[in-house]
Amino acid sequence: MNKAITLIFTCLLSLSMTYAQTFSDDFETYTVGSLLGPQSANWGTWSGAGGGTDDVNVVSTDNHTTSGTKSIYFSSSATTGGPQDCVLPFNTTPLTTGQFNFTAWFKIPTGKDAYFNFQGNATMGNMYTLDCYMNANGSVSIQNSGTSVLTSTHPFGQWFKLSIDANFNSNVWKLSIDDTLKGSWQNANNQVYAIDIFPPDATASFWVDDVSYNVVPYTLPPVDAAANLISVTNGLVGQTRNLAVKVRNLGTTTITSFDLSVDQNGGTPVVQNITAANLASLATTTVNITTPFTLLPGANTFRAILSNVNGLGPDADNTDDTIKTTITPVIPADGKMVAVEEATGTWCGWCVRGAVYMDMMKTKYAGYFAGIAVHNADPMVFTIYDAAIAPLVPGYPTALVDRFTGVDPSAMETDFLNRIQIAPKAVTRNGATYDSTTRVLKVSLTTTMQQNISGDYRIACVITEDDVTGTASGYNQSNYYAGGTSGVMGGYELLPNPVPAAQMHYNHVGRVISPDFPGLPNAFGASANATQSFTHTFTYTLPASWDATKINILGLFIDNIGKIDNASETTIPEAITNGYVTGTEIGTTSISETYDLGSQISLSPNPTNERSSITLNLTKESNVSVAIYELNGALLAQKNYGILSGGISLPIEMGNYSKGMYFVNITINGKTTIKKLVKE
């Protein structure tokens, strides 16, 4: 039964008569096998009112319902998810005050996943209040603005009840599963308009039944200030963090002044007196706490207390005057730095996500994070690096954290926090000399063992550059976040697709790796003892187009199974200050800035229905490989043809692929070019 009921009762929040809105839908009044939207006055879809390809069918299977005989079923066969994308608004306008409860029943087959999000505004994609991922490994992850704020677990193969409670006044959100509280959090986007249910990938399969929500409004008193959010970034023990507190006016009178006290673990508070506020009713302001706090071992509880609003002492509601948040920083191992190699390219529209998360990690974990953006088929490619990393990544963008299994850049922080705690077997110190006239950079990597080692341990040196720009079309950045329909992504949702080269500044660009990706074999002999030191030197002549003031030197200490045990990173001036040490010379690395192979490659027919062919005109014997990618960067097919020469035609079978655009990567002797191929 589908019902929306308005009840009158006394709301304790406002101490006055208000109206509570309740809604529930068990899908029993709908026709099985028909789309939900046209049958419902409440449900719609992301693209509109419903009835299109993004709508969902009502189904009837006794063991797939919690009550009655009907439910709705979501699944996808596409790596990018969909096309089902169902929306249920909770109100005609966003809910921003009072209390809110949402409940739904889910059933997820073993090894499958499910997903929904709350939208904050009526314009879909404008604000993601939260994302709820019910993953194929049985975990539940609540994410807020791309950051995980709560994790738990869910059952497989049976119905379970999922509830989210929100108090918008105090900004306390709670997740319960089967009526058991799993945790609470503060929401950076403390408002809600609708739920969006979406199968996120080809692993998605789930039923939904008995959806309900309840809204309890709040009547504003004359004077009420609320401490609404403490913003503090978690990190590593010993790092400092600046706090910010969001204050909201939940009264009808403009707030002109208040006192704010912030403490850590109940210690001496930092007090700021705000005397020049002009905070209108329901408006918010953010107070930046001027004194930084040092992250301590164990739980760090930060508390903010509001008082003396408008110089009147206590306000009308003291339940929202205090807010707390607790973080537990990670203890980094001595001398440990984590290296992250990110596969990216300007042709890849999702790769702006990698750029955003790489910059975030560099800012958040300065001194512990060494990032390398390994470009593919664009003007910033270093072909040796690109060709070596390509077989290790399932698609673009992908991040390799210390060369372990590739993950989406948005998930690299979890792997980083695991790796940063592992004691390294060696620590490397970067030294350098640099001649600004000849542009010759000499690098020394002095590696001191922290533990005994045996086996084939290796060393490699990487040069990266920040703030790289260019004017050629290859520097235009494809941007699938343009327009905001794919969510917020570090401001790229406000930029066009593609982003013009003039607006792009690329960081962490992997300019060169030497001697190569695997590193120098047996760089430390068959074995080495703790405290032993080894120095290896590298020589580079920096191209004139590189900005030496933006160059970073990275040392990679690679273990005997090919993983990065530890890394080091300095600027050129920092390495010069450390001092150059004479050691085993690895040699001068050749640096090429050429990537365009298009003149010897053609692709036809294009568009195609079934088959296309790559035509090559190879003037010498060349090693050739071909890879086909979806628009989202997922690898579909890959083949190494070995050594070829002369005029060659290589077939591409497209019959089993869906209509749309694909990228064909053709690699010749380690240099890659990309062709766009359209399947009609």
CATH-assigned architecture of domain 598-679: Sandwich (2.60)
Site of tokens 């027919």: 605
Predicted local distance difference test score (pLDDT) of residue 594: 40
At 377 the three-state DSSP class reads: coil
Alpha helices in 377-521 (DSSP H): 383-389, 412-419
Q: What is the CA radius of gyration of the chain?
A: 28
Residue 642 CA to residue 625 CA, distance in Å, equals 7
Domains of the chain, residue spans: 2-216, 225-327, 338-588, 598-679
Q: Choose which CATH entry (3.20.20.140, 2.60.120.560, 2.60.200.20, 2.130.10.10) describes domain 2-216.
A: 2.60.120.560
Q: Can you tell me the mean pLDDT for 239-257?
A: 96
Residue 592 φ/ψ region, left for φ over 0, alpha for ψ in the -120 to 50 degree band, beta for the rest: beta
CATH of domain 225-327: 2.60.40.10
Between the CA of residue 551 and those of 344, 563, 620, what are the distances in Å? 19, 24, 36
User: Would you state the structure tokens that stand for residue 80, as one six-digit string?
Assistant: 């990018």
Decide if 377 contacts 389 (C-beta within 8 A): no
Per-residue exposure over 403-440, b if at least 16 CB sit within 10 Å of its own CB, e if not:
beebbbbbebbebbbebbeeebbbbbbbbbebeeeeee
Q: What is the pLDDT of residues 380-415, one digit of tens each?
A: 999 889 989 988 998 899 999 999 999 999 889 989
Q: Tens of pLDDT along 80-120? A: 899 999 999 999 999 999 999 999 999 999 999 999 999 99
Q: Is the pLDDT of residue 186 over 80?
A: yes
Reported pTM: 0.70
| Residue 590 pLDDT | 65
pLDDT beyond 80 at 65: no
| Segment 521-556, tens digit of pLDDT | 999 999 999 999 999 999 999 999 999 999 999 999
Query: For residue range 589-599, what is the model confidence (pLDDT) as tens digits?
Result: 767 544 344 44
- Choose the weakest-confidence range: 237-241, 463-467, 654-658, 665-669: 665-669
pLDDT at 307: 96
Asked if residue 501 lies in contact with residue 475, where contact means CB atoms within 8 angstroms, the answer is: yes
DSSP symbol at 423: P
Instruction: Give the chain's mean pLDDT.
Output: 90
Kindly report whether the peptide bond that precedes residue 379 is cis, defined as omega within 30 degrees of 0: no
Residue 461 β-bridge partners: 514, 555
Give residue 61's pLDDT: 73
Would the CATH topology of 2-216 be identical to that of 225-327? no
- d(CA 578, CA 429) in angstroms, rounded, equals 8
Q: Say which CATH superfamily domain 338-588 falls into.
A: Immunoglobulins (2.60.40.10)
Question: Of 114, 117, 124, 128, which Cα lies nearest the Cα of 47?
Answer: 124
Q: Indicate the pLDDT class of residue 252, thresholds 50, 70 and 90.
A: very high
Confidence grade of residue 486 (pLDDT, cut at 50, 70, 90): confident
Residues 526-531: contacts with CB under 8 Å, at least 24 apart: 526/454, 526/455, 527/452, 527/453, 527/454, 527/455, 528/449, 528/452, 528/453, 528/454, 528/457, 529/449, 529/452, 530/449, 530/450, 530/451, 530/452, 531/448, 531/449
